[in-house]
Structure 1
């Protein structure tokens, strides 16, 4: 792998622009697996498993809670779980170090807000499905997102018997109804002005760097992913000076025939690969 990563590093260093496409595999490399019923889930969400029956974090996101008090108990715990260290993981720090001095943009479906923790510029970040630290009106009665860190941290400390005290439940400042975390779990996910600004930011970035040496770093995106992998590969296919580098495991390292000549598939542990690449950076 070392020789292959040396080639990857040469592409990164020669790049005029870098596009990061990230999904669940990147989070898994940090030790967070939202689809798994594992020891980590049992340790942090065991009481929710016992009370509601769901077996992983993603099921908890979509679970039909009997009450707002129980819903916010889970989502405040999820926020606490994702952001518990208040600092970037080694994986995210290595990724940031690789691209921080390059013109870059991030497209991700991850909801853990770890790109924020790692220091990535929010104006260069499009979280397609939202993140765990922003809130919206539950019925999207108006076009505004609210910072949720302080509220969610307070809620997480107040959980008793799987519920939040009624007097602490977040209320929409416009309609007085319930709030929810801004992640895409239903049709009322707010794709408002802020979301569309980030979407335009990505489109504008691609337009500005078109024709230049663009390196696409695809990190832990499923082989059939139509949200991130498919559009990035289409762009790479059309860009004459693009390089496409896919980091994943086994069959998930998927590279279609259309971009074979400009692609590299790195099969293995993403954390280890990023650590090795970061070690190649000039001192």
Structure 2
């Protein structure tokens, strides 16, 4: 099926919907210029110090790294926090917002990304579910409290060459022990999921009001399939956007093997042609 016909089909599914569920993985962030950590080479290219140490993503993105190498762990996450604060959301975000504004129930976001790009793009924070948590929030390493608090007061200073934090690490306001990102890491039994659970409740309430949901999945891979599986369980038409893993088994699905920006521009062009969106 030529790609223009795929755009037509995707646009038709959107026009028939009363609400949009956006399910997003790391590929969407790549469209905004964020680094791709898939595979050790991607990580080591972005963080040469980890490459020199032959340190894999699972070894730095875990609670033990904060216990054993806190300056290194916070160097990695501090750099990411600074990067995400500085990065501007790519073009797909604006198109998704425009589509949502034309649907009766608007949109809800389900994402494994911890970067806060949807909030930065102007999406309603009360309509975002971050299934792996957020780098913009912290929790206590000691577990002295279940509190989750914003990282707004922490400005990381990082020696990029060594991937090490050079200023004071964030501390728990209660026990003054080391704080860590409120992110679900590898081998993580200590993640406090209360904030994400509240997001799940809000999504469930929104979802039950809909009769004609459509799902747009962008940049979600199969290595950690949380996002793909969630979208597939919705019993709704699925528009899957992924340069290398776009195949969908659903008869109501549309596969778009391209980047999020390319796909959303193509869909937006079709929707403008029907008058659903402004040209």
TM interval, shorter chain, is: 0.7 to 0.9
Distance 2:224 2:205 in 1: 23
Partner deviation per Cα, 1:175-223 (whole Å, 9 max, x = no partner): 221100111011111112x2211010111111111xx111111112234
SS in 1 for 2:261: helix
Give the counterpart of 2:264 among 270, 274, 282. Answer: 274
Matched, 1:134 2:137: yes
2:158–2:166: 8 Å Cα contact kept in structure 1? Answer: no
Q: 1:184 maps to which residue?
A: 184
4+ residue runs of structure 1 moved beyond 4 angstroms? 36-41, 157-162, 223-226
- Segments of 5+ residues of structure 1 without an aligned counterpart are 237-241
1:41-120 to structure 2, matched below 5 A, reads 42=45, 44-50=46-52, 52-54=53-55, 60-62=60-62, 64=65, 66-85=68-87, 87-102=88-103, 103-120=106-123
1:154-193 to structure 2, matched below 5 A, reads 154-156=155-157, 162-165=163-166, 168-185=168-185, 186-192=188-194
Partner deviation per Cα, 1:211-267 (whole Å, 9 max, x = no partner): x1111111122347552322332221xxxxx322111234x22323xx32x222222
Distance 2:230 2:161 in 1: 44
Q: What is the aligned residue count?
A: 264
* Alpha-carbon shift at residue 157 of structure 1 (Å): 5.6
Partner deviation per Cα, 1:119-166 (whole Å, 9 max, x = no partner): 111110000001221111123332222111340xx2226889544357
Q: 1:234 maps to which residue?
A: 233
Give the counterpart of 1:21 among 13, 18, 23. Answer: 23
SS in 1 for 2:208: helix
1:105–1:124: 8 Å Cα contact kept in structure 2? Answer: yes
Distance 2:256 2:160 in 1: 43
* Alpha-carbon shift at residue 88 of structure 1 (Å): 1.7
* Alpha-carbon shift at residue 73 of structure 1 (Å): 1.8
Distance 2:238 2:259 in 1: 18
2:219–2:259: 8 Å Cα contact kept in structure 1? Answer: no
Change (3 A) 1:247 1:165: closer
- Segments of 5+ residues of structure 2 without an aligned counterpart are none
Distance 1:161 1:248 in 2: 34
Change (3 A) 1:131 1:273: same
Q: 1:217 maps to which residue?
A: 216
Q: What TM-score, normalized to structure 1?
A: 0.81
Change (3 A) 1:224 1:234: farther
More helix by share: 1
* Alpha-carbon shift at residue 274 of structure 1 (Å): 1.2
Distance 1:275 1:112 in 2: 23
Distance 1:116 1:41 in 2: 28
Change (3 A) 1:188 1:234: same
* Alpha-carbon shift at residue 74 of structure 1 (Å): 1.8
